[in-house]
Chain A
């Protein structure tokens, strides 16, 4: 008798398979890995924002107890610079400025945290002790950290050969059409803002362990990465000149990424190189202060924008001028963030017919900036959703009605925007209506009045947003400057007795892939989730992969699995046809059972796989034994999740403290595989967005010192800073991938910051404010309320 199994397929909130090891302390993070004979690396970093190296004397350090070697750039001759993975072209067609990014500083130090030298010693503390004995003599030079300041005439140069610190001057859209729209507009609304610089702060600091097998010449790197194959490609081909066949990169359990662990970092090359040089495994683990000054930062845009509207409030045109801070060097994907992941999103959910955007990327004496949860899309969304609120106020429109008036109609899909993207599906009216209802928008004024009686200023804010993820069609991104393809790879290995191993190029660092992906297989092949194991994060096991970022794992990686499962089913049908003496065309397949159409003759998947591996009765002349298939899936388009976020805040007048009271998210993430995991992803994303809006800020002082370089100084949200987040979904299916999925990893961080700031501005409506810059900290708000600065 068949036991009645709980439904574990698409749509079930299956509890996570990975949780047991994490809850028992049996996760395997990089710093948990110890190799026989392992030694430790400690990195001396620049304390200066900008300086010329006069001399480095490592003699005393080398003589310290336990020290095995001390290396500077002079020892690494022949090693390549850290490559950038995306080339942007200027308005005039010339390529962006692309300075060399040395593994260890050569001649100059360009930001606080720039690595200068590395000490290798028997223990972690011996390496640190010796590092402090390195005598580094420098000539300090003037530095520039601000985006606008770096473009000003006479600003200190970050790279001697790059005039004006300009990385690129790029644009998109139709300028003359946009100018014409402004010329005939009834209303013109101008808005300026800075999107504050953030630090990802995944809870696990970056770590890398290099190992080298002298007998085989094989290098192994264990690293905290979101995309081990990409690291193998970049580091092997561009930095250390190691062929892929001799380089294995393993990203085991990784404790959060949020973008910051996409990039190839110097420390990965250092430990891989040093392990081979010394014949000892080498481990490096960042302490948190190092993370602050060496993990890629996020955001940091300065923008001027103008919106043109007609008399009724229809958007006619949008003009945007943005300056984006790249930091001192180009991190792996930095150039595409303020261009193709930002300016292409400036239509948002609106049918604005004419858009023109210019983006200048600039070098500064700061840590490199790259993608952080959302990457460009939060900056675009924040700009648009603040601008729409500012326009509503300035022109006297209701902020909800103004949005509705300009939404792309639900029957207008596929919809071509004026900034390159073609949206496949969406229903912005439904997500808006559902969020308005859930949040009790209509009853807000009563809550405001009640709060006022308690002496509190209460406000409500909305954001209707869209993002592009599931990146991306390889040919499209290649034409836009990507130096890689952005497909994904999946292998389905059906074992002889019917259990399944899935190899995926996507990487899980908190997303729950081991569960969600197993559900896909369960749903299609009828194998219980417990019998489906997901293998990821090891170039020695997984054929290839582009990794996890841009909410792509399910849309691209999951689609690769679907494609591989289709191949499994096709082969299985041929085997089943042979076993049941029927024509292949007559074999039907449904969730694990092959049936001769119209009969009760069936074979289950395990019978087919057994026949495939024990091919005694098998069409051996026609098909090979075994049941394993690999598929590469290259997406046809981006996916376009969207939705509506509503935040309600209260401000304490005496202190200016803003408290989040509640938050409503209604998101269209396409088909939902595991609702529990989707809810968790949205809640976590919203927490980071609320952090940006109210608390988090990366601060450099005038001399270029990183002031917010510890968790005491950089304000990450704690449990009592946040409020319950109500999460719901309204699904329209993605039309171009086999699963209909869109992605849920970033929506929370993209939609929420403008909702929160719109609520803060709404709460302050009696104080004549039109805008409050992020983060809306208590001193800032207090000054507005009390009409003076602290």
Chain B
């Protein structure tokens, strides 16, 4: 059986896989990292988004075999080791940007990458367009958009804290 060696949330793993094993299957079923979700089968919903070498990727359409040597970050690895939330996670809570929580891990991982790629800042429309690859059925997105705008201010050092951005 083929193997793949990759780093997930800073920890190295060597895992037996099938040629067809998807990254999301490796994460959920082999490593039991069940924070990454599967919401569809056509790469539309984005519940499975993780970062590979810092880039957001849909893990449901990534073969595990393609991840040899890669560094993968999942929602479980986003907060600091001491449990301090990433500003994006904190902003989602502050702005009530989640309800059932199922799309949330992918939404947060996409949002972090979106903000990182735009140090110049993002308009509301740019945030909305930047979320094209993520579906949420609960919130109507409005609070997600507000949370991302607030997190962007903190991530780019324009505000100290999410609470300050919320003022």
Contact = CB atoms under 8 A, between A and B. Distances in A.
B74 interface: yes
B41 interface: yes
A377 to B, nearest CB: 19
A22 B140 CA distance: 18
Interface string B81-113: 000010001001110101111111100100000
Given A22-B104, A25-B105, A512-B99, A722 B39 contact: no
A29 B103 CA distance: 12
A572 interface: no
Contact of B102 (A16, A20, A255): A255
Contact of B39 (A125, A288, A680, A712): A288
B167 interface: no
A720 B89 contact: no
B160 interface: no
A695 to B, nearest CB: 12
Given A204-B37, A509-B100, A23 B131 contact: no
A629 B142 CA distance: 40
A718 interface: yes
B40 A25 contact: no
A720 B128 contact: yes
A719 B137 contact: no
Contacts of A202: 100, 102, 137
B76 A25 contact: yes
B92 to A, nearest CB: 6
A167 B110 CA distance: 47
Contacts of A510: 99-101, 138
A205 B75 contact: no
Nearest to B33: A25
B102 A204 contact: yes
B93 A125 contact: no
Contacts of B3: none
Interface in A50-84: none
A32 interface: yes
Contacts of A681: 99
* Residue of A32, A124, A200 ringed by the most chain B CB atoms within 10 A: A32
Contacts of A685: 140
B140 A710 contact: no
Interface string B133-144: 011111111111
B11 interface: no
B101 to A, nearest CB: 3
B59 to A, nearest CB: 13
A258 interface: yes
B98 A23 contact: yes
A25 B94 contact: no
A500 B86 CA distance: 31
B30 to A, nearest CB: 11
A748 B138 CA distance: 11
B137 A25 contact: no
Interface in B39-82: 39-42, 44-45, 47, 74-76, 78-79
A203 B35 CA distance: 14
A684 interface: yes
Interface residues of A, number: 59
A137 interface: no
A256 B137 contact: yes
Interface in A1-57: 15-16, 18-27, 29, 31-32, 34
Contact of B139 (A31, A32, A687): A687
A511 interface: yes
Contact of A710 (B36, B40, B89, B129): B40
A23 B93 contact: yes
A725 B140 contact: yes
B136 A203 contact: yes
Contacts of A34: 32
Nearest to A26: B35
B8 interface: no
B103 A683 contact: no
B145 interface: yes
Contact of B131 (A710, A712, A719): A719
A322 to B, nearest CB: 27
A683 B104 CA distance: 17
Nearest to A720: B128
A620 interface: no
B120 interface: no
A678 to B, nearest CB: 10
B137 A203 contact: yes
A679 B45 CA distance: 24
A722 B129 CA distance: 11
Contacts of A722: 128, 140-142
Given A19-B93, A23-B89, A719-B127, A256 B99 contact: yes
Contacts of B139: 680, 683-684, 687
A201 interface: yes
A201 B40 CA distance: 10
Contacts of B18: 125
Contacts of A204: 37, 39, 100, 102
B109 to A, nearest CB: 10
A390 interface: no
Nearest to B131: A719
B39 A203 contact: yes
Nearest to B76: A25
B140 A686 contact: yes
Interface in A673-726: 676-677, 679-681, 683-688, 710-712, 716-720, 722, 724-725
Contacts of B134: 718-719
A287 interface: yes
Interface centre among A25, A31, A676, A718 (most CB of B within 10 A): A25
Given A683-B139, A725-B142, A718 B39 contact: no
A677 B95 CA distance: 10
Given A27-B35, A203-B100, A256-B99, A289 B41 contact: yes
Contact of A712 (B44, B102, B125): B44
B40 to A, nearest CB: 4
A22 B98 contact: yes
B116 interface: no
A253 interface: yes
B85 A256 contact: no
A204 B36 CA distance: 12
A16 B45 contact: no
A560 interface: no
Nearest to A716: B135
Contacts of A29: 34, 37, 102
Contacts of B105: 25
Question: Which 6 pairs across A and B sit closest by C-beta, in order of nearness?
Answer: A25-B35, A255-B102, A22-B101, A687-B140, A510-B100, A510-B99
14 contacts: A18-B101, A19-B93, A23-B85, A24-B78, A25-B75, A205-B39, A255-B100, A255-B101, A684-B139, A685-B140, A712-B42, A719-B131, A719-B136, A724-B142
Given A23-B108, A255-B102, 6 more contacts: A23-B85, A204-B102, A287-B41, A712-B42, A718-B135, A719-B136
